[in-house]
Homo-oligomer: A and B are copies of this chain.
Amino acid sequence: MKRVRVGALMVLFALIPAASAEPVSDWRDVDPQNLVLIDTKYGQVAVELAPEFAPKHVARLRALIRAHFYDGLSFYRVIDGFVAQGGIGEGTASTKDHPVETTDLSKWPALKAEFDRASKPDPVFTPLGNADLMAPEVGFENGFAVARDPAEHREWLIHCPGTFAFARDNDPDTATTEFYIVIGEAPRRLDRDLTAFGRVLSGMQYLQKLERGDPEIDNGVIADASKRDPIIRVRIASDLRAAERPAYQVIRTESKTFADAVESRRHPTSPFYFRKPPPVLDICGVPVAVKRTAP
């Protein structure tokens, strides 16, 4: 007796359109200048940057990557259900192979925060179409989940699973080199209080394999540096030779294809739903489809 009991959740993937079904123009090529490739021992994580939201942070990250700053450092603070944080780490324990003495941090002065930006009458912003618990308005811009405050004319990237951001000290203007990636339930309370400027396009499952710290001990920092998973190397796709350069496309969130996908998620027609869910979506639970086109 072969029973298929997995039909349950099939509709969730109706959001990923069949490659042959939609117009080519529904997909946007990811600019290789904005495509960051983080090699872990479990696999490669691809992150798309959003320079329009945080130009100084993007410029800093590119400079750090091109200086090979991260290569050989580690994910030294990884809290299950929350974030994976990487970089030089706290103190010297993480810097065995990159002694602090030889890492000239004076080259990387603290950045002015870029928590939000002026929102413009932007035809690319696509409202989600329902309320949000944390922000006056939420939607998508170029595939990124974005919140807006119309009264203040400001907008910012939302902390969803996969969001890429820079850590900082208590002072807002203190980010320098350390990054984190959200690996758990959207920590929306961090929105507009840290500079978020990218999102993972693929490889979340590799981040989920990272060795965890204990959140009750030293705020999740893994004390034993030998247990930390290394950041093998970080590159910008545009620095790779064309033949070996990964390429991604992201669904255009202003397209009808995406709007239709959101609406089918909001009003699922599958008979699986005995009770139709409330027609309300969590901005961080709406997949924004990605496909890898090369190599």
Contacts and interface: CB of A to CB of B under 8 A. Distances in A.
A65 B269 CA distance: 35
B216 A185 contact: no
B216 A16 contact: yes
A215 interface: yes
B105 A3 contact: yes
A169 B3 contact: yes
Interface string A255-282: 0000000000100101111110110101
Interface in A4-35: 4-10, 12-13, 16
Contact of A185 (B193, B275, B285): B285
B215 A275 contact: no
A120 interface: no
A67 interface: no
Q: Which bracket fits the contact residues of A?
A: 35 or more
Interface majority SS (helix, strand, loop, mixed), chain A: loop
A169 B7 contact: yes
Contact of A280 (B82, B134, B175): B134
Interface string A84-119: 010110111000000010000110000001010000
Contacts of A100: 1-2
A199 interface: no
A192 interface: yes
Interface stretch (A48-56, A204-212, A230-238, A239-247): A204-212
Interface in A40-69: none
Nearest to A161: B185
A178 interface: yes
B170 A272 contact: yes
A176 interface: yes
Given A204-B80, A208-B80, A90 B168 contact: no
24 contacts: A1-B105, A2-B91, A3-B169, A4-B90, A4-B169, A5-B90, A5-B178, A6-B77, A6-B90, A6-B221, A9-B187, A9-B190, A80-B204, A113-B274, A115-B274, A115-B275, A160-B185, A170-B270, A183-B208, A185-B285, A188-B285, A189-B268, A193-B274, A209-B209
Interface of A: 1-10, 12-13, 16, 77, 79-83, 85, 87-88, 90-92, 100, 105-106, 113, 115, 130-135, 160-161, 167-170, 172, 174-176, 178, 183-194, 204-205, 208-209, 212, 215-216, 219-221, 265, 268, 270-275, 277-278, 280, 282, 284-285
